[in-house]
Amino acid sequence: MGKVSVVIYISVALLVFWLVSHSPNKSLNRSYHHASRRLKLRSSYTFTGANDHRVAFDPIVADIERRREDKEWEKLQFHNRHPEFDSAPAAESQPEWEDFMNAEDYLNDEDRFNITGRLVLLFPKIDVDPEDGFVSESELTQWNLKQSEKEVLHRTQREMELHDKNKDGLISFSEYEAPSWVRNSDNTSFGYDMGWWKEEHFNASDADGDGLLNITEFNDFLHPADSKNPKLVQWLCKEEIRERDTDKDGKVNFNEFFHGLFDLVRNYNEEGYNSSHESSDLMEAPAKKLFSQLDKDGDGLLSEDELLSIIGKLHPSEHYYAKQQADYIISQADADKDGRLTLTEMIDNPYVFYSAIFNDDEDDYDDLHDEF
């Protein structure tokens, strides 16, 4: 069979899959005509990077989304491994497909997914520190963080299965392959030099130095900003300098700092809410001040060690996003503005917790379908 027909077969299979996965199930749609609310799962699987930090508030929703994502992932890996396959099975003929669609069914059905009931059930699990009938910002942050850590670890596990060729539960450097965009590009391409997949990064992630990454170390490897491993944090500083160091002197001067790093620090301090940008002239003084505070040895340049104190702001951790999400939820649901949530406030504002999947205007259903 010629190359061209293989390409056509694969394209058709992908197209069919795309159509099936993107078209709302019309019969389902009709049968819920009387429901005043519709719950929608997120369904964008990009797998390109961990840039989406929204995490489902409800573990049940997270679990369903995770299973759907795993299915997408498996399909993607199958196609990556077998690009030569000329008869990729049509999506709807796969046995799991039924489950996959049922997952959406589940959340669309209000009788089976009772939001009020879920909030009543979850409230005491969040209100733990102290258990006082109020959900505070820090309790909600901890809750969000727990959900996102579960999510991150799950994705790491999936990556691990992919790379762990000899199935010993450990990743050696030779088992780890650079992402495909690296393998397919020549070494002059943009990004080639960013060492996120290089041996130096691997070694820094290998906390006990045994030449292999266990799941914890591999998770750190994939998410260095969340790592407590000092070698890895140091590597991150080095990497930051490599990226910013336009004059290639191995350190960051004021110009390199001002155009790039300073904005990140400022946005972090303002918690991302204030996106209004003042003119550069106004910002130069505070930037100079911060620069000289960081420049401990006063040589006018920032070294790796001198970046350590701000590296967490340059690469925000999951905790940062968990807190942002908590602040947002509280700002939306805290009716009496006392800075914390009661169960009643939560029940009165369910869309804040289930915003990604909650819709009470059925006419918008089709429009919303591709939004997430």
Ligand X SMILES: *[C@@H]1O[C@H](CO)[C@@H](O)[C@H](O)[C@H]1NC(C)=O
Closest approach of ligand X to the CB of residue 231, in Å: 10
Nearest distance from C-beta of residue 307 to ligand X, angstroms: 20
Nearest distance in Å: CB 44, ligand X:
30
* Smallest separation (angstroms) from ligand X to the CB of 219: 9
Nearer to ligand X, 102 or 274 (CB): 274
Only one residue has tokens 């879920």, namely 118
**How many C-beta neighbours within 10 Å does residue 84 have?**
9
Residues that bind ligand X (CB under 6 A): 111, 114, 116-117, 120, 187, 199-200, 203, 207-208, 211, 214-217, 270, 273-274, 276, 278
- The one-letter code for the residue type at 346 is M
Does residue 53 contact residue 223 with C-beta atoms inside 8 Å? no
CB–CB of 219/188 below 8 Å? no
Give the DSSP H/E element, type plus range, for residue 8. Answer: helix 3-22
Q: Which is nearer to ligand X, 120 or 194 (CB)?
A: 120
Contact of 302 with 294, CB cutoff 8 Å: yes
* Of 117 and 191, CB closest to ligand X: 117
Toward ligand X, which CB reaches closer, 29 or 214?
214
Closest CA to 123 of 328, 336, 334, 342: 342
* Identity of the residue, 43 or 216, whose beta carbon is nearer to ligand X in the bound complex: 216
Q: Assess contact for 175 and 164: CB atoms under 8 A.
A: yes
Taking the C-alpha atoms of residue 299 and residue 306, their distance in angstroms, rounded to an integer, is: 11
Give whichever of 109 and 362 is closer to ligand X, judged by the CB atom. 109
In angstroms, give the least distance from the CB of 283 to ligand X.
Answer: 9
Whose CB is nearest to ligand X?
117
| Per-residue tokens: 4 | 């061209």
Cβ closest to ligand X, residue 99 vs residue 210: 210
Distance spanning both ends of the chain, measured CA to CA: 39
Determine how β-strand 212-213 pairs with β-strand 171-172: antiparallel
CB of 199 to ligand X, least distance (A): 4
CA–CA gap between residue 200 and residue 195 (Å, rounded): 8
Shortest approach of ligand X to residue 22 CB, angstroms?
30
Give, as one character, the DSSP assignment of residue 364.
G
